[in-house]
Amino acid sequence: MPIRIGANPIGWSNDDLQEIGGATPLETCLAEAREAGFVGMELGHKFPREPKALKEALEPFGMACISGWYSAELLRRGADEEMTHLRPHLDLLKAMGSTVLVFAETSNAIHGDRGKPLSQRPVLASGDWAEFGRRITQVAERTLAEGVRLVYHHHMGTIVESEADIDAFMAATGEAAHLLLDTGHATWGGADPAKLAARYRSRISHVHAKDVRKSVMEQARREDWSFLDAILGKGSELGVYTVPGDGMVDYPAVFKALPGYSGWVVVEAEQDPEKAHPLTYARKGVAHLKQSLKEAGLA
């Protein structure tokens, strides 16, 4: 599959704090995404979760269903139980022709809690990675057997946040489990996304493209903000995340480290739509991605 540029609706309506962008109709999100140049969407809380209804929502805008986030609890339950919880979501993705499953451990995550600073995020003990990795691999092997690749989303406020966490995760999991490279979470978590891309090229099957406002990131670290406070921004200020080309991430370098990559590059720049006009930023992100992919020889 050639590289296709898609979007996550979180630039229009926030999933962790649903009142942010809550009044924006799904149809507005899809129409503006299409106008900006996106050809696919990941799922958000406003999307139907039944195949026929979802197809009817997406088709008028020519949008493919890319994937959708799944909140796992493999620290608390085994692969068999997890598959039972995952089944409706996996079946929906299969019915929609999606080939990747965005997967993250959230049983003890704090990214959705505005009252908890990121310094309180969970950390997995060194002796616990092997069993966690074994369970992830078991689930990944089962979804892959059904035609859907598990791509793990490293994320601020979770047990896979830092570069060391990502390395530990990759070492503990088998080949069936791939990595979702998120440029924004990698940067904020202290890693160079281009170096991660080069290190794990053979196991990267999905890319989330969000940029980082360096000054906001540094303030959030210094003042120990919660994840939600950082992405929404304090007062009238803009938040830590923005679209490609509006921050500190070197996208041509990231894509040059992914030779032969095919699949989706998804703009997932969660911002407060009252501060950052979604269509304006979406257009900017698409333009920068297209130029960066061209510079990297991937377009």
Domains of the chain (ranges; CATH) run 4-295 (3.20.20.150)
Res 48 pLDDT > 80: yes
| d(C-alpha 174, C-alpha 114), whole Å | 34
Q: What is the mean pLDDT of residues 127-135?
A: 98
Q: Is the pLDDT of residue 79 over 90?
A: yes
- pLDDT tier at 1 (50, 70, 90 boundaries)? low
Q: In 87-147, which ranges are E strands?
A: 100-105
Q: Specify the DSSP class assigned to residue 16.
A: S
Tell me the mean pLDDT in the region 83-112.
98
pLDDT digits (tens, 9 = 90+) for 194-246: 999 999 999 999 999 999 999 999 999 999 999 999 999 999 999 999 999 99
Angle at which helices 51-58 and 79-95 pack, to 10 degrees? Answer: 50
88 has a pLDDT exceeding 90 = yes
Residue 288 CA to residue 266 CA, distance in Å, equals: 13
pLDDT in the model for residue 17: 78
User: Does residue 22 or residue 249 have the better pLDDT?
Assistant: 249
- Can you give the pLDDT at residue 20? 81
pLDDT-derived band at 14 (thresholds 50, 70, 90) equals: confident
Average pLDDT over every residue of 48-66 = 98
For residue 55, pLDDT over 80 is answered with yes
Residue 135 CA from chain centroid, whole number: 21
Per-residue model confidence as pLDDT tens digits over 18-41:
888 878 999 999 999 999 999 999
What sign results for the dihedral spanned by CA atoms 42, 169, 196, 201? Answer: negative
Find the helix or strand (DSSP H, E) in which 205 lies: strand 204-209
Say what the pLDDT of residue 15 is. 82
Report the alpha-carbon distance of residue 294 to residue 279 in Å, rounded: 23
Local structure of 176: helix, strand or coil? coil
Region of poorest pLDDT, from 5-14, 75-84, 165-174, 252-261: 5-14
- Backbone conformation region of residue 245, classed left if phi is above 0, alpha if psi is from -120 to 50, else beta: left
* Percent of the chain's residues with pLDDT above 70: 100
Query: What mean pLDDT, rounded, does the chain reach?
Result: 96
Average pLDDT over residues 243-271: 97
